[in-house]
Structure 1
Amino acid sequence: MSEDDRTMGMLVHLLALLTGIIGVLILWLVKKDQSRFVDHHGREALNFQLTLLLASFAAMMIGVVTVIGLFVVIPLIWGVGIAALVMEIMACLSANRGEWHRYPVAIRFIGDR
C-alpha cells in the first residue's frame, strides 16, 4: 500500500471530525475506485457518521417527546459525542499506520464489496 493510500485513509477520518458526513461522502465517492484501502476506510467512516446521525436524531426525538428525556438525553448526547471523537481519532491513527480499522459500534449501512 502506498503512502498516498494511507494519507487518504487518514484524511477520510479527519474529514469526519471537521465536516461530518458531507466531507466523508465526497472523498469516498472520488477515491473509492482508486484504492481498496481508501474504499474500506471511506465506507467505515461513512457508516459511522450515518450511525451517529441516526442516534442523534433518535435521541432528539426522545428528548422532544418526553420532558424528563431532556435531562437524560442531553448528557447522553455529550457522552456519545466524546466517544465518537475518541473512536474517530483511533480510526485516523490506524489508517495512518496502514491498518484496516473497523468501528465497533457502526451499523453497516454500506456493506463491503
Structure 2
Amino acid sequence: MTEESVPQATQVPEVAPVGEERTWALLGHLSALSAFIVGIGGVLGPLIIWLVKRDTLPFAADQAKEALNFNITVLIVALALVVLTVFTFGIGIFLTLPIGIIVFIGWLVLTIIAAINANNGVRYRYPLTLRLVQ
C-alpha cells in the first residue's frame, strides 16, 4: 500500500464563535439568574436556550448545556441541604445555612465568570459539576 492510498486525517481548526453565537452563549449562562425571579429558573433558562439553539449554534448550545449541568448540580446540593435541615428537625440549619450561603456565593460568582468567558468566545467548564446532560 502506498502513501497516496492511505487517507490522511485532517484537522479542522475550531472557528472562534462570533456575534450571535457569543450572545446566545452569554444568555445561556445569565439565564440562570432568572432563578431570582422564578425559583427553578436556574435550570429552566439554560434548558430552553440549549433546546432552541443546539442544532444551529454549537458554541451557544455547548455553553447552555454546561450552564444547565452546573445549575442542576447546585439544585441537587440545595435540595440536599434542605433535606438535612428537615431531618435534623431544624438543628442542622447551623451547618446547612453557612454551607448554603457559600454555595450561593459560589454559584453567583461562577455564573458571572462563565458569562464573561462565553462573551469572549472562550468555552468555560464549571468546576465540581455533574455532567448529567450529554
* Aligned residue number for residue 42 of structure 2: 20
Give runs of aligned pairs for residues 1-113 of structure 1, distance below 5 A: 1-18=17-34, 19-66=41-88, 67-111=90-134
Structure (1 or 2) with the larger CA radius of gyration: 2
Length, aligned pairs only: 111
Structure having the higher helix fraction is: 1
Deviations along 1:26-50, whole A, 9 cap, x unmatched? 1110011111101110110000010
TM-score by length of 1: 0.93
Q: Which consecutive residues of structure 2, in runs of 5 or more, have no partner in the other structure?
A: 1-16, 35-40
TM-score by length of 2: 0.79
Q: Secondary structure at the match of 1:85?
A: helix
- Distance in 1 (CA, whole Å) between partners of 2:131 and 2:43 is 15
Deviation at 1:68, TM superposition (A): 2.8
Higher relative contact order by CA 8 Å / sep ≥ 6: 1 or 2?
A: 1
Q: Once the two structures are aligned, what percentage of the paired residues are identical?
A: 40
Q: Which consecutive residues of structure 1, in runs of 5 or more, have no partner in the other structure?
A: none
